[in-house]
Amino acid sequence: MTHQTLSASIETCHWGYFDATLVPAMTIESGDEITIDTISGGPQNLPSSGFQVPPELLEVHAAGVPAMLGHILTGPVAISGALPGDVLQVDILEVSLRQDWGFNFFGPLKGTLPNDFPNQHQTIIPLDAKRGIATLPWGLELELSPFFGVMGVAPPPAWGRISTIEPRVHGGNLDNKELIAGTTLYLPVFAEGALFSCGDGHGAQGDGEVCVTAIETALRGRFRLTALKDKGLSYPQAETKTHYITMGMAPDLEVCVEMALRDMITLVSQRAGISAEDAYMLCSLAGDLRITQTVNREKGVHMMMAKHLIDGL
């Protein structure tokens, strides 16, 4: 196993889109570790003064704002031997801050209440990496829990170039706050090399991300990327140290619920060796449905099941 580093730059970032035809910024072997630096936000989101701004963020801005607005992602990273039909295992080993500030932004026609707030509203939020806190304007100190809002592989080639805003079967803008350091994400592969990209760093976020942004900031992540040949997964899933997570993404939250629940019934039935009927019952007794986010046009729901309830039965 080797370790590579991919810095954020004009050459290694793509802004606003996923595309299966992107040339890899780096290629690694399956099972290798990689550290990826990310940046976040457009020119309108910069602080006026007094904070550190990654110089590569200014360079990306200077190259011009893209026609397809979305997130600035670093990548893609190709994994040797990964082929369509495989699953990419993304072990999130470390996540850390790269700057001392973040921003939160919302405006008219955005967020979960698009008609309630008619004016644009931006807040620059100081971040203290040493203490692990963000200080909100009225003095509240909020505990940081950094994670990448966007982690995804290339979409199916037939889709062409797609926005980073909507989460879909390839992953992307999941905005799942459970995916912190020490967790694992599983993504179906649709293109040779998988082509993994990440960005949309969040210092902290509530389930729902209701105003459309979290504490948006620049992050550094250390990942282990492994191509799995026999996982047989057709939709993103994840696991923490204590829980399995299934997901559903669709414009309708009820559809999201059904997607996450069906996948959890299958997962529980297979891992516990019980019938689908018993798995459905256990999901009702011990599974937790949570709203991942309600603001990315394709909304999200995830379901969590404690591992100790089903493993080793």
The residue behind tokens 């370790």 is 3
d(CA 134, CA 300): 26
| pLDDT value of position 85 | 97
* CB neighbours of residue 249 within 10 Å: 27
| Cα-trace Rg, the chain | 19
* CATH classification of the domain holding 207: 2.60.120.580
Q: What is the pTM of this model?
A: 0.97
pLDDT digits (tens, 9 = 90+) for 14-67: 999 999 999 999 999 999 999 999 999 999 999 998 999 999 999 999 999 898
What is the rounded (10 degree) CA torsion for 281, 264, 163, 38? 120
The answer on 201 and 267 residing in a single domain is no
Domain residues for the domain of 172 are 3-228
CB-based burial of residue 181 (10 Å sphere; 0-12 exposed, 13-18 middle, 19+ buried)? Answer: middle
- Evaluate the CA torsion angle 165, 170, 174, 179 in order and state its sign: negative
The answer on 208 and 267 residing in a single domain is no
| pLDDT value of position 68 | 85
The answer on 263 and 209 residing in a single domain is no
Q: How many domains are there within the chain?
A: 2
In a domain, 234, yes or no: no
| pLDDT value of position 189 | 98
| pLDDT value of position 1 | 74
| pLDDT value of position 249 | 98
Contact 208, 147 (CB under 8 A): no
pLDDT digits (tens, 9 = 90+) for 59-95: 999 999 898 889 999 999 999 999 999 999 999 999 9
pLDDT(240) > 70: yes
The answer on 264 and 216 residing in a single domain is no
One-letter-per-residue 3-state SS of 158-174: HHCCEECCCCECCEEEC
In a domain, 31, yes or no: yes
In a domain, 233, yes or no: no
| pLDDT value of position 313 | 62
The answer on 290 and 150 residing in a single domain is no
In a domain, 237, yes or no: no
The answer on 298 and 151 residing in a single domain is no
